[in-house]
Structure 1
Amino acid sequence: MTTLLHPLETYPYMKLNKKNQISKKMKTEISKILSLGKFFQVTSNKNSNLTYILQPSCTILINNIYISWLRSINAKAQSHFPVYLSAVNKKDLCYGFIEKMYDTSPKVIEINDRTSQLLEKSKLKFNLIVPKQDVMQYFFQWQRYRKYWWSSITTTPSLFMVNDMKYEASTVNTQIVANFEKGKNIVEHLSMIKNMDSSESASISCCMSMETALMSLLLDGMSNQNKDGYLRLHYKMAPYKISFALNTTDDKTFDTLKDLAACLHNMLTLAQIKSLLPTFSHPIQLQIEENLKIGVPYTAILNEETLRNGIFHLLNSSTMLKEQVHIADFEEYASLLFS
């Protein structure tokens, strides 16, 4: 059996300079992300490591990353070879298996207060066992697959590149890197091991951490924010796809619209579309801003007209344009938006 990379290998989160420090510009960007109260809440400082509790928006985002990762592995592999959810030892020369290292749904993250380095504890690793003579073909193929996946879950597809391969005896290593304006971020490590013995198989591994994926998506969302500073996340990854806002000053109408929003929220939940039901305790503009700050792609704005004719405005956070939607068509339209 081909030897695989040790599951507890650790990798640097950011590309460090000669002094082993992240650039000041990147530190500033990381600090901005960690100050997002809807995503993180600092809880302790121990041995220069700050611990942050992940807020609900953050845990949903991590779950979205995990599900998307599983689907991408399955989509690229299922028509060519079987994939198993744990390590196996088979005679077949073409199969894959998934390693989950530690908890794939972390509740906290730790970051070094001095260097801003992220402690990577929750990792996902896909291993592929292939015939030795075909290993380089598969290795190049999976480099493309993994780069495509990263590009498909961010708002900046051109952000990612594959580093040059490094050859060491029977091992070849490379990384997928996000080229942020303020610095580079290694997001995934790929390795190929080709045994020099009589074994007919070779192995390929793709390893990434959930913490790094989380921070990378938020860095992307922060770098693509508009002039008002709203977070822009890819709609596939956004914790909440749709939220609500109420535009009325009449107390009686407010209560009726609140009940209507709750009804629409439940309808979306049954359709398996993650939506957010706010408290509506702020004026209309602040309600909208709260949704934009956590990267909600669409906000349904209900008003008195909605009670009369069933029509409301759906605000697109990317274009800041509104379109009219009828309540009766809302579920079907939302399903089309996020299919």
Structure 2
Amino acid sequence: MKQLKQVIEALHSSQYLSASIGSNGSINNCKLLENGIKYSEQLLLHWRRTHSLDKEVRNSFIDIIEDDALVDSNNRSNFIFSKQFHDGIRHLCSKSANQQYPAVWKTVQKVHANHLNEVASNHFDISTTRIRTYLFTYYLTHPAKGVSDFFKAQRECKIWWMRFSTDPSKYYLDPYKFSDTSESTVPPGTQSITIKSKLPYATLDVESITLVPLLKTHLDEKINAFLSNNSIGEDIAPAVIRSVIDLQAATSAVLFDSVDNEHESTLLLNRKLAPYQCVVACCHQGNKLNDLEDLCLHISNVLLRSGLRLKSENMIFTQCFNKMEEELYKCDSLGIPYAVIVNESTLLNGLLKLRSRDATLEETIHISDLPNYLLQIFSN
């Protein structure tokens, strides 16, 4: 098992994040670096495409950029009175005069850290991040189905996070206990859970999911009239399920998880989300250098055009086998899933090696099969 100091050093040296360790062993001053920001961008895109509280319901998107907005990440029920929530329902109104349950919409909100009521929403301090990005999903459903849809959403979201890890058992659901003060003010039937990642040195939050059965008094007349016009004609308020992800905190949690493995210096990032998915390497014997360089550039361009992300500025080209092995291990520490290895015989027969980060094993494939084969791997 790696010590926390080793984990932080590994993430810092690979330019994913920086952090310090508090006197009580907590993770402090956590900040995403260049590669960590790139990973968070991929996580955001993946959330937009695949994260859902109900996969059978089409998602609507509302992007809100409000650096001066106030976000209380500690209060899990007051959102039903927020302008953001009511604006989302009005967005549904604008798209359809007869919106039927269920309905889902997503919002991306960027908030200046000074406007957060709770700076450390996770179990470590990320207050050095000036702008925080929150990912919200709202799911309106019939009140009679609220509880069952709430439990279904928990399972779906937990599985979504488990797919990022080589050890899915790290992720678990933790029921949220409302304080005695808040219990008297939350609507009856309100429930909430937190999805957490349990690591040897910390337990980190990645997402919160809350069910709130709405009352008609929570909403204005126009919204009530809209929501009452549902497919079954009942004049009732829906239940709402809300998911909240602090993108910077969740990205940091996933990065810490990826270092927690049995390999000495390998970052086991999910291959779909890795900032760099492939690197081209060549160990030559000093012959046909121009041809080999041209071939490596051609392979890089083919892979880039196919949509894969390459660390092209650091293409490995060396005459020393040990040097190439050293560079490949550096790629492992960056979390790059695959390396395409070219040699002089590739110029003659078109065969090259494909090296896997996770197993450090190599398989032989023909250059003509390369882009489609890799795309198939990354799509699974």
Q: Does the alignment reach a TM-score above 0.5?
A: yes
* Paired position in structure 2 for 1:189: 208
* Paired position in structure 1 for 2:83: none
Give, in whole Å, the separation in 2 of the partners of 1:51 and 1:159.
21
TM alignment of 1:16-35, pairs within 5 A: 28=5, 31-35=8-12
Alignment equivalent of 2:342, drawn from 289, 302, 313: 302
Q: Check whether the contact 1:246–1:254 (CA below 8 A) recurs between aligned residues.
A: no
* Paired position in structure 1 for 2:16: 39
Q: Check whether the contact 1:298–1:317 (CA below 8 A) recurs between aligned residues.
A: yes
> Could you tell me which amino acid in structure 2 is paired with residue 88 of structure 1?
I
Q: Check whether the contact 1:153–1:236 (CA below 8 A) recurs between aligned residues.
A: no
Alignment equivalent of 1:275, drawn from 310, 325, 343: 310
* Paired position in structure 2 for 1:235: 271
Distance 1:266 1:281, change over 3 A: closer
Give, in whole Å, the separation in 1 of the partners of 2:272 and 2:165.
9
> Could you tell me which amino acid in structure 2 is paired with residue 331 of structure 1?
P
Q: Check whether the contact 2:139–2:242 (CA below 8 A) recurs between aligned residues.
A: yes
Aligned-pair CA distance for 1:96: 1.4
Distance 1:211 1:53, change over 3 A: closer
* Paired position in structure 1 for 2:293: 258
Distance 1:41 1:265, change over 3 A: farther
Give, in whole Å, the separation in 1 of the partners of 2:326 and 2:6.
24
Q: Check whether the contact 2:40–2:247 (CA below 8 A) recurs between aligned residues.
A: yes
Rg: which structure is higher?
2
- SS of structure 2 residue aligned to 1:336: helix
Q: Say whether 1:54 aligns with 2:62.
A: no
Q: Check whether the contact 2:10–2:333 (CA below 8 A) recurs between aligned residues.
A: no
* Paired position in structure 1 for 2:245: 208
> Could you tell me which amino acid in structure 1 is paired with residue 376 of structure 2?
L
* Paired position in structure 1 for 2:254: 217
Give, in whole Å, the separation in 2 of the partners of 1:71 and 1:127.
15
Alignment equivalent of 2:105, drawn from 84, 90, 97: 97
Identical pairs, percent: 20
- SS of structure 2 residue aligned to 1:189: strand
Aligned-pair CA distance for 1:281: 6.2
> Could you tell me which amino acid in structure 1 is paired with residue 355 of structure 2?
L
Distance 1:40 1:173, change over 3 A: closer
Alignment deviations for residues 134-163 of structure 1 (CA, whole Å, 9 cap, x no partner): 211111111111101001122221111111
TM alignment of 1:109-188, pairs within 5 A: 117-119=125-127, 121-166=132-177, 168=183, 169-170=186-187, 171-188=190-207
Gaps of at least 5 residues in structure 2 are: 20-27, 64-87, 112-118, 218-235
Distance 1:35 1:307, change over 3 A: same
Gaps of at least 5 residues in structure 1 are: 1-24, 43-48, 104-110
- SS of structure 2 residue aligned to 1:329: helix
* Paired position in structure 1 for 2:329: 289
- SS of structure 2 residue aligned to 1:31: helix
- SS of structure 2 residue aligned to 1:85: strand
**After TM superposition, what 4+ stretches of structure 1 lie above 6 angstroms from structure 2?**
none
Q: Check whether the contact 1:176–1:186 (CA below 8 A) recurs between aligned residues.
A: yes
Give, in whole Å, the separation in 2 of the partners of 1:116 and 1:200.
38
> Could you tell me which amino acid in structure 2 is paired with residue 232 of structure 1?
L
Give, in whole Å, the separation in 1 of the partners of 2:341 and 2:350.
12
Give, in whole Å, the separation in 2 of the partners of 1:223 and 1:179.
11
* Paired position in structure 1 for 2:356: 316
Give, in whole Å, the separation in 1 of the partners of 2:257 and 2:163.
12
* Paired position in structure 1 for 2:377: 337
Q: What is the TM-score normalised by the length of structure 2?
A: 0.70
Distance 1:253 1:62, change over 3 A: farther
Q: Check whether the contact 1:26–1:183 (CA below 8 A) recurs between aligned residues.
A: no
Q: Say whether 1:85 aligns with 2:51.
A: no
Give, in whole Å, the separation in 1 of the partners of 2:340 and 2:51.
34
Alignment equivalent of 1:68, drawn from 25, 46, 52: 46
Alignment deviations for residues 183-216 of structure 1 (CA, whole Å, 9 cap, x no partner): 2111111111123556521211100111122212
Aligned-pair CA distance for 1:81: 5.0
Distance 1:179 1:82, change over 3 A: closer
Question: Counting helix residues as a fraction of each chain, which structure ranks higher?
Answer: 2
Give, in whole Å, the separation in 1 of the partners of 2:212 and 2:150.
10
Aligned-pair CA distance for 1:164: 2.3
- SS of structure 2 residue aligned to 1:296: coil
Aligned length: 297
Aligned-pair CA distance for 1:289: 1.5
Aligned-pair CA distance for 1:40: 4.4
Distance 1:64 1:289, change over 3 A: same
Give, in whole Å, the separation in 1 of the partners of 2:277 and 2:61.
31
Give, in whole Å, the separation in 1 of the partners of 2:62 and 2:55.
13
Q: What is the TM-score normalised by the length of structure 1?
A: 0.78
